[in-house]
Amino acid sequence: MQPKVRTCLGFKDEAEEAARFYVSVIPDSVFEGAFRRAPDGPAIMVSFTLAGTPYQALNMGCDTTRNEAFSISVMTKDQRETDEIWEKLLAGGGSEIQCSWLKDRYGLCWQIVPEALPRMFMDEDRAAAERAFQAMLGMVKIDIAKVEAAFRGDSA
């Protein structure tokens, strides 16, 4: 059964390339298929799922504008997964932003968020949560050990 709602990402002409790249980076993802006007022609629209979330990508034939107002957030289980996804998304021309944000080579913004981060931010100990938040503000890619140390109140 087709999902009732999918987020559509517009590209000039790299929809299939980008979708296949994203599926290769995010665990438990699948490229579902492509619509082509001719069997050997370029894809016009592709469907894919990233870790259970459905997307489609559309070749619009014109330059698209992207900014941080739209991003895909990926929850990671640990530092190894955070580092791995971060590096893969930056490969080929991406750029780091700050506070777990990056922009990939297609201009799409991502948040790579270790699952420990929201847990600490929502803790009932508001002082500890604030220390963790302040530590995160000084980072680009999240260093979980440093945020956890700040949360505990450990001095550097």
pLDDT digits (tens, 9 = 90+) for 97-125: 999 999 999 999 999 999 999 999 999 99
Confidence grade of residue 66 (pLDDT, cut at 50, 70, 90)? confident
Which pLDDT belongs to residue 54?
Answer: 97
Please give the average per-residue pLDDT across 85-99, as a whole number: 96
Q: How far is CA 83 from CA 29, 87, 124, 127, in A?
A: 18, 6, 28, 28
What's this model's pTM, rounded to 2 decimal places?
Answer: 0.91
Confidence grade of residue 65 (pLDDT, cut at 50, 70, 90)? confident
Of the listed ranges 27-31, 95-99, 143-147, 151-155, the one predicted with least confidence: 151-155
